[in-house]
Structure formats: C-alpha cells, structure tokens
Amino acid sequence: MIDVRERARGCLLGLAAGDALGAPAENLTPEEIRRRWGRLTEIEGGGTDDTEYAVFAASLLVRHGHELTPADVAAAYRSEIIPLVAGPMRGAGFSELGTIEALRRGLQPPLTGLTHSHGWSDGLAMRAAPYGVFCPGDPAEAARLVEQDGLVSGSGEGILGGRAVAGAVAAAMGGATPREVVLAALSVVPADSWTARNVVRACEALDAADAAEVVEALHRAVVVRHYPWTDVAPEAVALAMAAFLAGDGDVEAAVTFGVGLGRDADTIGAIAGAIAGASRGERGVPARWAARIGPVTGKCLPVVAGRHVLDVADELAEGL
C-alpha cells in the first residue's frame, strides 16, 4: 500500500526528473534526439521553469487550500514574482510572460489570461500536478482548483490542459490504473475539446502502431507541424498521457519515452513523470535520478530559490 505522502513525493520528484531529463531535448525532433543520444536516460543538468512554477503553485495551495481564487493567484504574482523581475523573465513560457505584462498594466483575471495571444500554451499544464496531489482520488476538485490558477495566465485549451493533468494526477494519487488515470483526465474536460480529441487520438495511435513506428504515429496524430513553437497544451498533454500509458505507469519508462518525443520535451517529461510518480510513489522514481534533483535555483522564479520538491510535497501532504 502506497500512502499519500509517498505518492506526493513521487509525483513532484517525478516531475522534476522529467523536466531535467527533457531539458536538453526541448524543441528537438525525435530524429535529432536519437542521433545525439540514442535514448535519453541520464539527467545531466537541472530543471526549468516547469519545476519552479510547480513549486510556486504548491505554495499557493499550502496557503489557501480549497479556498484558492484567481485573485489570490494574481496577488501572489504581484507581490512575489513581479517585484523580483528586473528585466525579461528567463525561461518562462509565453502565457506567463503575457500575464506578467498584463498584471503590470493593472489588469485583473480573467483578463490577464485573455489579453495575450498564448492562452492555449502548456504553462498551466506544466504546473498542474500539485493540484492533483492536493486532491487525491478527486479529479473534479483538482480540475476546479487548477482552473483558479489558470484563469490568471491562460484561457481556453490552455486551461483545459491544466485540468486534464490535475485530474490525471488526482486519479493516480488515489491508486487508479493507468487507463483509469487517462479516463479521469478526459472526464474533467469537454469531450469535443481539442485537448480531449488529442488525448483520444494519441491513445488510439499508441494502441495501433507497432513499436518501430509509434513515435511517428503519435506525431501524426497530434503534433501541430505548421506552428513554429512547441508549447501547445493539447499537444504536450496528449503526448505526455501517451508516454504514461506507453510506460504502463512506470516512471523511468514513461519519462524516457516522453522526452524522446521531442517538441516541448521538458514539459512532456515533467507531466509524464508527475503522473507516473503519483502512481508508483517516491520509490518508483529511479534512485540515480532522485540523487540528481536538488533545490531549485530560482533562475526563472527567484521567490522559490532554495526549495526542494520533496519538502514541498511533504507540505502538500500535511495540508490534506
């Protein structure tokens, strides 16, 4: 039996490991990844904004719990993030950059997530895991909570991507099987949404393709090839769900498969690692990866510098 604390630690440790493993492969094609590494299996450097924003999201939950509102999130951005950003933010996603500028202009949510053109980005999905940790076995509440955060920085499919990830993590925290986890993700987004359609297409491609062609099949199913950026939430979320299923919930298998898909590889790895980590617990994360995860540096969000994801996971578990 895996207890909630063990699952919480596994989730955030898996997120950080997936983020760090995928960082050098971000924006690369699967072909280029295979040429450089064959298969990425070892963490060489640190994580990115994915881990730092997840730590920040967790801090909001520790303070506000189930009463969290978009106003609380906006206030935290104004008091804890904006004052420490002297110039351009480093490593932040498009949706977060747009939100910072909207808040600086005095706008309030939901306008802060609607006034920039990147509301569909995967910025919310990358930090959605703590909301699932906070709602073990309750995907609907996890999705509701993450939307309070998402209304500050995103809109439309960007928010739906966050809802899907939070719902999946909540189900995994409750001990659901891999297939049940994906069904939970689908249960908290509209069936006719881009996000839901992509998750279904990715699952179908995974089931239909043979091992030698599965990566190409997943790309054909969901990748937006004509768009110059890779942080498209319905794409990243669907690929991460497919990676989780491809690994049958195993952390190492899910993460290594996910980062090998390229595109927004660090976010895909972080999401797959978070869901698998919640499913298998801290002991399911490879020890050699766990040893490489240290306190976050704050290179993107100075306010979280020095925090370790395991301490953050403990705080979330204690607040349940």
Residue owning tokens 């104004």: 78
Give the pLDDT of residue 56: 97
Q: Write down all domains in the chain, each with its CATH number in brackets.
A: 4-318 (1.10.4080.10)
Task: Give pLDDT tens digits for 251-283.
Answer: 999 999 999 999 999 999 999 999 999 999 999
Nearest residue to 76 (alpha-carbon basis) of 126, 112, 116: 112
- List the structure tokens of 227: 């768009």
More confident: 225 or 173: 173
- Computed over every residue of the chain, the mean pLDDT equals 94
What's this model's pTM, rounded to 2 decimal places? Answer: 0.97
What is the residue whose two structure tokens read 């050699």? 288
What pLDDT was estimated at residue 87? Answer: 64
On the question of pLDDT at 170 being above 70, the answer is: yes
Nearest to 258 by CA among 183, 186, 266, 13: 266
Q: Is 208 exposed, middle or buried (0-12, 13-18, 19+ CB in 10 A)?
A: exposed
The pLDDT of residue 88 is 62
Q: Provide the β-strand partners of residue 121.
A: 232
The mean per-residue pLDDT over the stretch 234-247 comes to 98
Task: Please tell me the predicted confidence (pLDDT) of residue 205.
Answer: 96
User: Would the pLDDT of 91 be above 70?
Assistant: no
CA dist 196 and 179 (Å) reads: 15
Give yes or no for residue 86 having a pLDDT over 80.
Answer: no
**Can you tell me the mean pLDDT for 5-13?**
98
pLDDT: is 287 or 227 the higher one? 287
> If pLDDT is split at 50, 70 and 90, which confidence band does 55 have?
very high
Mean pLDDT of 310-320: 95
- Mean pLDDT (whole number) for 222-247: 93
Confidence of residue 89 (pLDDT cuts 50, 70, 90): low
CB atoms within 10 A of CB 65: 12
Q: Report how far apart, in Å, the C-alpha atoms of 214 and of each of 120, 135, 185, 219 are.
A: 26, 33, 22, 9
Given a contact cutoff of 8 angstroms between Cβ atoms, the answer to whether 145 and 107 are in contact is no
DSSP 8-state symbol, 80: I
pLDDT of residue 43: 97
**109-134: average pLDDT:** 89
What is the separation of C-alpha 273 from the centre of its chain, rounded to a whole number of angstroms?
9
